[in-house]
């Protein structure tokens, strides 16, 4: 396994660091926008914590980590498979004399730090991976809550007891089969249905921002 840190090697120059950061933002933007027609990359959220450039700026080593560490090998193979397209996208976004060749490696810095501290696999997951995945999990929870709160078809089919029906179903029944319900009453019901979603979003909107920031996308 390639080592990310080498104590004997000198650190990268400011130019290497600056170009590496530009390449990192370019790769993160391409992956976040879904410009690649790849099923694996479209279904995974990939974080790029760092990109290291060679002294001649012709080789860029990108350290990547899928969300939650899932399907690492599959995601790495997909990135390697689309390396030519990614190189073209980087060349369009970063003004360099030569388009750098891309190399993708798994980011093992967090695992190495946890092992140095004596953490096992379970402790590493609880103390390192789970907190890093927190914003993305919270964002997924918000989206799932909004979807199921507004769902109409499944409760309409599954719940026959009128006392247990959800608000969207109640609004449909309130409107009446031929839309003869009171508009004021229907508007009040819609307002009641919107309030919980607004409360959840306002309380947890910072997690959405953190999720976007953790993906490496420059806002």
Longest dimension (CA), the chain: 80
Domain co-membership, 103 together with 136: no
pLDDT at 2: 47
- Angstrom distance (rounded) from CA 66 to CA 77: 12
Contact 169, 153 (CB under 8 A): no
Q: What is the pLDDT of residue 68?
A: 63
Low-confidence residues in the chain, pLDDT < 50:
1-3, 5-6, 178, 216-219
The beta strand positions in the chain, using DSSP E, are: 46-53, 59-66, 101-106
- Is residue 120 domain-resident? no
Residues 20 and 103 in one domain: yes
Q: Alpha-carbon torsion 71, 74, 75, 76, what sign?
A: positive
Last residue of a domain, one of 60, 90, 107: 107
The reported pLDDT for the residue numbered 99 is 86
pLDDT digits (tens, 9 = 90+) for 159-169: 877 777 788 88
Q: Is residue 148 part of a domain?
A: yes
Residue-level pLDDT at 47:
81
CATH number of the domain to which 85 belongs: 3.30.300.20
Q: Are residues 47 and 102 in the same domain?
A: yes
First vs last Cα of the chain: how many Å apart?
33
Angstrom distances, CA of residue 191 to CA of 143, 146, 168? 19, 15, 11
| Tokens 């003869």 sit on residue | 180
Query: Is residue 9, in this structure, part of any structural domain at all?
Result: no
In a domain, 4, yes or no: no
Number of domains composing the chain: 2
What pLDDT, in 10s, does the model give residues 25-53? Answer: 888 888 888 778 888 888 778 888 889 89
Regarding whether 209 and 140 lie in a shared domain, the answer is yes
Element (H, E) at 64: strand 59-66
99 and 151 within one domain? no
**Residue 191 sits in which domain range?**
132-214
């Amino acid at each position: 396994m390639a080592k990310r840190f080498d104590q004997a090697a000198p650190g990268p120059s400011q130019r290497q660091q600056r170009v590496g950061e530009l390449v990192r933002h370019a790769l993160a933007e391409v992956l976040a926008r879904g410009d690649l027609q790849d099923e694996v990359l479209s279904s995974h959220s990939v974080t790029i914590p760092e990109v290291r450039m060679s002294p001649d700026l012709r080789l860029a080593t990108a350290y990547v980590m899928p969300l939650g560490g899932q399907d690492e090998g599959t995601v790495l193979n997909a990135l390697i498979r689309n390396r030519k397209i990614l190189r073209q996208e980087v060349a369009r976004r970063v003004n360099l004399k030569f388009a750098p060749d891309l190399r993708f490696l798994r980011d093992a810095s967090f695992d190495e730090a946890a092992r140095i501290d004596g953490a096992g696999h379970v402790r590493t997951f609880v103390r390192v991976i789970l907190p890093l995945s927190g914003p993305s999990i919270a964002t997924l929870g918000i989206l799932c809550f909004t979807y199921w709160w507004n769902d109409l078809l499944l409760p309409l089919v599954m719940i026959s007891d009128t006392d247990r029906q959800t608000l969207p179903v109640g609004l449909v029944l309130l409107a009446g089969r031929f839309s003869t319900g009171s508009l004021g009453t229907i508007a009040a019901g819609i307002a009641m249905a919107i309030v919980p979603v607004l409360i959840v979003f306002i309380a947890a909107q910072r997690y959405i921002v953190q999720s976007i920031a953790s993906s490496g996308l420059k806002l």
